[in-house]
């Protein structure tokens, strides 16, 4: 009996960010893209590889919550160059899914979670 996630699915915003990073010629973006590929496999093995972001979220994270509501759990993975990957664990029927909400740089992340991590 496996209690791992079955799939990793990206939101439209996260997919867009991933495509942007993959298509970019900047070396740090390439590094982030490589890390994303690694994380996709890692999250299938351990869906709690990220850091838990406790609820209730900071009021500044309301746009994040509203854009992807309803959220019941939230995790954050560090990426190179202070980028962050935010995901939640949900299910569709019996299939457990790691749903990547956003892939953002430090500036966007710190707008939602001020004072949280460097």
Partner 1 sequence: MTTLRSVPRPVHAKRGANPTLETLEYIRGILKRAPAPISRNEILRILSQAGHGTTRQALNAAIGFLADDGSLVEGSKGLQWVHQAEGRILETIRRKTASA
Cβ distance 45 to 78 under 8 Å? no
Should residue 113 be labelled a site residue for partner 1 when binding is judged by CB under 8 A?
A: no
Among 23, 54, 115, 118, binds partner 1 (CB under 8 A): 54
Angle of helix 12-23 relative to helix 27-45, nearest 10 degrees? 130
Should residue 48 be labelled a site residue for partner 1 when binding is judged by CB under 8 A?
A: yes
Should residue 12 be labelled a site residue for partner 1 when binding is judged by CB under 8 A?
A: yes
Cβ distance 80 to 31 under 8 Å? yes
- Say whether 27 sits in a helix, a strand or coil: helix
Q: Which residues bind partner 1 (CB under 8 A)?
A: 1, 3-5, 7, 9-12, 46-49, 52, 54-55, 67-70, 72-73, 88-97, 99
């Amino acid at each position: 009996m496996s209690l791992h996630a079955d799939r990793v699915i990206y939101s439209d915003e996260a997919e867009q960010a991933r495509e942007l990073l993959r298509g970019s010629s900047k070396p740090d973006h390439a590094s982030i893209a490589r890390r994303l590929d690694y994380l996709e496999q890692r999250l299938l093995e351990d869906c709690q590889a990220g850091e838990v972001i406790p609820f209730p979220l900071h009021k500044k994270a309301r746009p994040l919550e509203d854009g992807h509501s309803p959220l019941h759990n939230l995790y954050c993975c560090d990426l190179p160059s202070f980028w962050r990957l935010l995901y939640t664990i949900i299910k569709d029927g019996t299939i457990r899914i790691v749903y990547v909400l956003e892939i953002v740089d430090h500036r966007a992340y710190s707008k939602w979670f001020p004072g949280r991590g460097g």
